[in-house]
Each structure stands twice: as C-alpha cells, then as structure tokens.
Homo-oligomer: A and B are copies of this chain.
Amino acid sequence: MRGGAALRRELTKLLDAERVLCPVPPDSPYNADAAGPWRGLRGAADAVVMPDGAEEVAAVMALCVKQGLPLVPRGGGSGVSGGACPVSGGVVCSMERMKAVLELEPGLWRMRAQAGLSTADVRRLAQESGLLFPPDPGAAEQSQIGGNVATDAGGPHAFKYGSTRHWVTGVEAVLPPGEIVRFGGACRKDVAAYDLRGLLIGSEGTLGVVTAVDLRLIPRPPTALGLVAFLPDLERGCEAVLGVLGCGVVCSALELIDGAALAEVASAYPGAVPRQAGFALLAEVDGGEEETRSARAELESALFAEALQLDRHDELEALWRWREGVSGAVAAVRGGKVSEDVVVPPERLLELLSGFAAGAAENGLQCCAFGHAGDGNIHATVMLDPRDAASMAAAEASTQALFELASALGGSISGEHGLGWVKREALALQCPPAVLDLQRRVKAAFDPTGVMNPGKKIP
C-alpha cells in the first residue's frame, strides 16, 4: 500500500479528509483504467484526491510540484491506453465530483461544463435542447467530457462532424506549477494567440489538468437514416468504402465490420445476415428528411452492384446498439482482446486489414477488425485469453507489426485511444527524432519539472 501519513497530512490541509484517499489499497479501481483488464496494467498511487473545483486542483498540483510527485489526472477511467493509470505512483486527481453544468445556452448553441460531467450527460443535455454534441466515443456513460478533451475522443460520427477538438471552443486548465488558466472561451473564432487550447486537447493529461470546457453545439438534424450493406469479402468491402466516398454522399457515419467480427455478432443483427456475408458496411445519413432519403437512395445505387444485401434501417437505436456490441462480442470469444485504433488513408484500408490478418495468422492468433471506415480508423483486434502469456506476447508482436504497417501506409498508430502508457514507445514509428525532440520541448514548456502524468504519451 502506497502513500504515507505525511502525504495524507499535506493533502488534507487542501481538501476535506473524505475527498482524500491515502494510503491507496492495491486493489483500488484508481490504480487502473480500462487498460487494466486486457493488458494487465496496474499502477500504485500514493494518494487519490477528488477536488471540488479548479482551485483545489491547483493546490494539489502545487504540492506535487513542490514534492516532485507525479500528478495523474483521471476522468471516467474508460481509456484503454493506460493514460489514467498511476504507473509511477503519485497523486491521482479524479474529476468525479466536478460535474457541474456551468452554462447551457440552447439558443446560442453552446454549453460550458466542468470536466467531470459524463459524455452521455453532455449529449443528453444537448438533445433535450434540440441540439447535438456530435462526438460519440464508446463508454459514454462512464467517460467524462474532460477525459474526452484530454484524448480528443472520436467515435463513429467523427466522420462527418470531426473529433472532440472540433467542438471545443475553450478549455480551462490547471497548469504547473498550479496556475488556473483559460484558453479560448465561448467564442467560435479566435486567432489572437498560439492555439494552446488545441494543444491541450489530446495531450492526455501530460501538460495540465482540464477542469472545464466550452462546447459548441449544433441544432439537431431532424432525420437520420441507416443503411447496412453486406459484401462477400474484405476486398469487395474495402472497394465499397471507396465507392461510398466517391458517390459524393456525405454520410454522418460509415462503419465497417469485417467477416471475423461479423460472425460473432450476426445473430444479434436487427435483421438477417446473409450466409455468404464476409463484410458489413453500416452507413448513416442525417439532415432534412427529403435529402436524407435521397442520400440513402444514392448510397443504395452506389452499393447495389456489389452488395449481397442492402438493408434500410429507419430505427437507428437498435442498429447502433448492435454496432456498439461488436467490441464486447469479440472480447467474449476467448475472454479477452488486444484492440488498437490505427488509421490509414481509406484507399489503404485493404492493405492494412489484409496485412494485419496475415500477421495475426502467422502468429497463430485469431483476429478481426471493425471501426470507422470513412476515417480509415480501424479497431484491429486480436481475440485471446488474457491469461495465456504466450498468446499475449504474440498479440503484442502482432500489434507492433500493425503499427509499423499503419505508419508505412501514411497513417497513424492512434486515431482515438491516445498513446498513454501502452503505446508511447510506438510514437517513434511515425515521428522522426527531430519531431520527438520538439514534442519533448513543448512538454517542458508546460511542465518543466515533469510532474504531469509522467511516462505517458511521449517515449
């Protein structure tokens, strides 16, 4: 058990005792995030604090800087890269109590909220006002908007609407050595200074702690319609992705499920999956009713020749529940999975997916792929028993080869999850040494003593 009486004494000077956990039991949930179950990653925090506001975050940060203790910001703990895992000990700063809605202005299409508000609540509040907050990463009930900002979370609708960064006009953060700052605000345009707002977005808690955000919303499109195309195999599936892009319809989401993943979720599909199907493409279009119907008809024309079956879905809730179930279903096959989030330009999808499958097969692994086809952002997944050390090692080798392939195809090792702890070393694949050095200098400009989430994001 980490955390001494002296640290507890210091922290309880800054926060009420019931909001300080020190020492931290080894099996505490604060010692892991969602990288725990699959990757076996656990840390050992010296303390956990649950601040009520930015001032308390600043006070805790000042103490960490003074004592040279790591400070690890924590949102909902749904990250799969270990970004919130206290791998080097230190103080975990959980945002769970900071979930106030500071402003909601439906007529002005905006919301300001503390970092701990859940993503699902942000989306619900927008929806109740006739508005849309488009980012829809997985685990919306668990994840927090501050964590979404810290990781620049995506999701299926990022294809049309962009990732979280496109919807954040302002960020309030606490920066070392304990300064509360605000970059941007409610305005939709601001080019006065360097875009430090944008730099903080996706920085995974390594530059500062996000304490509140200004969000841009938009009026909710009145209609959304779905179309599922089943194709015989990966080749025809990847061609279909390019066919959809080329037909000029702007889908609100364009998702793929490869044959191996489809086999695991076929029985749950709201409809009947044709027997010969080796690939499913899920498209959503949204907007005014008339144009949405005509856009779907255009998609049907584009897909008609190659598809085994085209299913219209007017009820999207069941369809999306099915899509969201893929991740759990493929994990259930062997009890676990190693699932990445690489990106390539969409015309390289076939090379990526066939290369990944071949590499996994060589390693004797069962694999599948699903994800955000339009963005070329794929959850390439090895299905395995996490207790099987040999398979885990083989999966890591497969993953490394996947990262190399994605980089070689002009892509990225991460489109959604961030690098956190588990992928930080892979950054060298896509960044030459000069850029890595620059990344480190930027980090040092914010955090010269290196207390902010050390060991994460940068190799």
Write the chain B residue with the least CB distance to A175: B438
**10 more A-B residue pairs beyond the given contacts A187-B410, A194-B457, A291-B291, with a C-beta to C-beta distance below 8 A:** A105-B347, A106-B246, A181-B432, A189-B376, A190-B343, A192-B414, A193-B427, A193-B458, A219-B248, A444-B445
Q: Is A27 engaged at the interface, CB distance under 8 Å to the other chain?
A: no
Q: Is A138 engaged at the interface, CB distance under 8 Å to the other chain?
A: no
Q: Contact string, A356-392, partner B, CB cutoff 8 A, digits 1/0?
A: 0000000000000000100111000000000000000
The smallest C-beta distance from A290 to any residue of chain B, in angstroms, reads: 4
Q: Is A412 engaged at the interface, CB distance under 8 Å to the other chain?
A: yes
Q: Contact string, A236-251, partner B, CB cutoff 8 A, digits 1/0?
A: 0000001001101110
Write the chain B residue with the least CB distance to A243: B107
Q: Is A345 engaged at the interface, CB distance under 8 Å to the other chain?
A: yes
B187/A414 in contact, CB under 8 A: no
Bound CA–CA A430/B196 (angstroms)? 14
Q: Contact string, A321-349, partner B, CB cutoff 8 A, digits 1/0?
A: 00000000000000000000001111100
Stretch of A13-21, A64-72, A151-159 at the chain-chain interface? A151-159
Number of interface residues of A (CB under 8 A): 88
B442/A194 in contact, CB under 8 A: yes
Q: So how many copies of this chain end up in the complex?
A: 2
* Chain B residues within 8 Å of A453, by CB: none
Write the chain B residue with the least CB distance to A442: B445
A188: contacting residue among B108, B201, B376, B443, CB under 8 A: B376
* Chain B residues within 8 Å of A195, by CB: 152, 165, 198-199, 201-202
Write the chain B residue with the least CB distance to A406: B187
Bound CA–CA A33/B360 (angstroms)? 57
What are 14 sample pairs from A and B whose C-beta atoms fall under 8 A apart? A107-B242, A154-B191, A163-B191, A187-B343, A191-B416, A192-B412, A192-B418, A192-B423, A196-B439, A196-B442, A219-B250, A288-B291, A289-B291, A442-B442
Bound CA–CA A108/B423 (angstroms)? 29
The smallest C-beta distance from A292 to any residue of chain B, in angstroms, reads: 8
* Chain B residues within 8 Å of A418, by CB: 191-192
Q: Is A36 engaged at the interface, CB distance under 8 Å to the other chain?
A: no
B198/A415 in contact, CB under 8 A: no
A434: contacting residue among B159, B181, B189, B372, CB under 8 A: B181
Most buried by B among A151, A159, A202: A202
B249/A219 in contact, CB under 8 A: yes
Q: Is A294 engaged at the interface, CB distance under 8 Å to the other chain?
A: yes
- Given the interface pairs A191-B414, A193-B439, the reply to whether A245 lies near B377 with Cβ below 8 Å is no
Bound CA–CA A199/B194 (angstroms)? 6
The smallest C-beta distance from A105 to any residue of chain B, in angstroms, reads: 8
- Given the interface pairs A181-B435, A288-B287, A445-B444, the reply to whether A344 lies near B187 with Cβ below 8 Å is yes
